[in-house]
Amino acid sequence: MEHKHFQTLLVHGEHVLDSATGAIAPPIYPSSTFAFKSADQGAELFRSPLDGYIYTRMGNPTIDILRNKIALLEEQKHGLAFASGMAAIHAILVALAGSGDSVVISDTVYGGTAALCNRTIPNMGIDMRWVDCNNPDEVEKAVDKTTKLIFVETPANPTMKIIDMKAIADIAHKHGIYLVVDNTFQTPYLQKPKRFGADIVMHSATKYLGGHGDLVAGLVTCDDDDVFTELYRVVCDIGGIISPFNAWLLLRGIKTLHVRMDAHCKNAMKIAEFLEEHPAVETVWYPGLKSHPQYELGQKQMTGPGGVIAFEVKGGKEAGKIIMDSVHVCTLAVSLGDIDTLIQHPASMTHSAYSKEDLEKTGISPGLIRLSVGLEHPDDLIEDLKQAFKKAGG
């Protein structure tokens, strides 16, 4: 039966009830290897490994349920699962580009993505071209015959800059190349990049998809069979696969994605409004606030503002440090998308791989604080921030 609503898809999509036992939860297959019925069948499977199971690096039944589920949620044909979001990004880049090729990438991305693209990827002879993807002319100028793909993150970590996916997809497709969108901050519940022209969608599933801060994982979806074949080759060759147990945890997390995301959005909106009114706060960047410079674009692309807020307090970095050291309900930690509210300082933590010039150019100011709003009662979070602001003199 076809599921009409996304919420139903989250709960039921792809999961087939175990007919032998009636078990509702999917089984975990920790097996590293799978017995062949005969020598001929083993040889046949090596010719077409996705038609059965050989060895978990090449395919696993629990991981397959997850691969199919994320493909369904992103409305794409293929899904792949990785050990982390970084393993997923690495796989996309090395599957689709090689020595002598170039990749155009948004100048504001997660610091780990920036580190990968500034160090490891250029060492492989791939030219990474950093551009402000809010400026389509700049993107157009950066693309040439060597360019294989454009990679963007929207909203961007940590500034919450929103990128017009349709505008960038049009440029990519004019040149016959792929648009890759990192959909970590929104999840398919709040944003479906494919509907705006993205060819490949990826996630750090460590964040909202997992949702509970208890796993590290990456997911990728695509429609193109050739892209899938290349990505699958990299999974098998490099081996950055998710473990069956983490795949199972992730499947469990995904079932409640809609309930958690609604609550994250509601809490974050309340906190963002509080921050905007507070005299200690200089600026707030949250896609749910009309003051966000790309509020209208956000309304077009996203069905909710998400749970991450960036803000700057008066007194800059020093005041920010006092606030981060004074919170009790919020936890001073990196990552985002957890049920726990997490607060951190991008310039010295998640984005410390950025040079001073790049931090300045992309608006990751020394005083910028990032808050991933969790599922505590918002009034407790507001009281916590209030007392921390007071300590910082606000």
Q: Which residues are known to be catalytic? A: 57, 110, 182, 207
Binding residues for ligand LCS restricted to 342-371, rule: CB under 6 A: 350
Residue showing the smallest CB distance to ligand LCS in the complex: 85
- Could you tell me the smallest distance in angstroms from the CB atom of residue 247 to ligand LCS? 14
Told to check if 188 binds ligand LCS by CB under 6 A, we report no
Please say which residue, 181 or 313, places its beta carbon nearer to ligand LCS: 181
Spatial contact of 165 and 193, defined as CB atoms under 8 Å apart: yes
Q: Does 204 bind ligand LCS (CB under 6 A)?
A: yes
CB of residue 42 to ligand LCS, shortest distance in Å: 34
For ligand LCS, the closer of residues 257 and 280 by Cβ is 257
x/- mask, ligand LCS, residues 205-244, rule CB under 6 A, reads -x---------x-x--------------------------
Return the residue of 72, 73, 81, 86 that touches ligand LCS, per CB under 6 A.
Answer: 86
In the complex, least distance from residue 353 CB atom to ligand LCS, rounded to whole angstroms: 12
What's the token pair of residue 217? 């994982």
CB of 357 to ligand LCS, least distance (A): 21
The window from 81-89, 120-128, 221-229, 246-254 that contacts ligand LCS (CB under 6 A) reads: 81-89
Beta pairing partners, 222: 78, 200
Per-residue tokens: 39: 């020598």
Among 76, 84, 159, 221, the residue binding ligand LCS under the rule CB under 6 A is: 84
Q: Does 191 bind ligand LCS (CB under 6 A)?
A: no
CB of 60 to ligand LCS, least distance (A): 19
Are 394 and 279 in contact by the 8 Å Cβ rule? The answer is yes
Residue 157 Cβ vs ligand LCS, minimum distance, rounded to whole Å: 5
Interaction between residue 263 and ligand LCS (CB under 6 A): no
In angstroms, what is the C-alpha Rg of the chain?
21
Q: Is 113 in the site for ligand LCS (CB under 6 A)?
A: yes
DSSP string, 50-62: GGS-SBTTT--HH
Q: Residue 341 interacts with ligand LCS (CB under 6 A)?
A: no
> What DSSP string describes 150-161?
EEEESSPTTT--
- Cα separation, 121 vs 127, in Å, equals 8
Contact status: 85 vs ligand LCS (CB under 6 A): yes
Report how many residues bind ligand LCS under the rule CB under 6 A. 18
Q: Which of 13, 112, 305, 378 binds ligand LCS (CB under 6 A)?
A: 112
**Residue 83 near residue 240, CB atoms below 8 Å:** yes
How far is the C-alpha of 239 from the C-alpha of 159, rounded, in Å?
33
Whether the upstream peptide bond of residue 155 has omega within 30° of 0, thus cis, is: yes
Crossing angle (nearest 10°) for helices 316-326 and 378-391? 130
Give alpha helix (H) positions in the chain.
6-12, 39-47, 61-73, 85-96, 111-118, 120-123, 136-142, 165-174, 187-190, 225-238, 244-254, 257-277, 295-301, 316-326, 356-362, 378-391
CA proximity to 103, closest of 167, 301, 113, 86: 113
* Interface positions with ligand LCS (CB under 6 A): 84-86, 110, 112-113, 153, 157, 182, 184, 204, 206, 216, 218, 334-336, 350
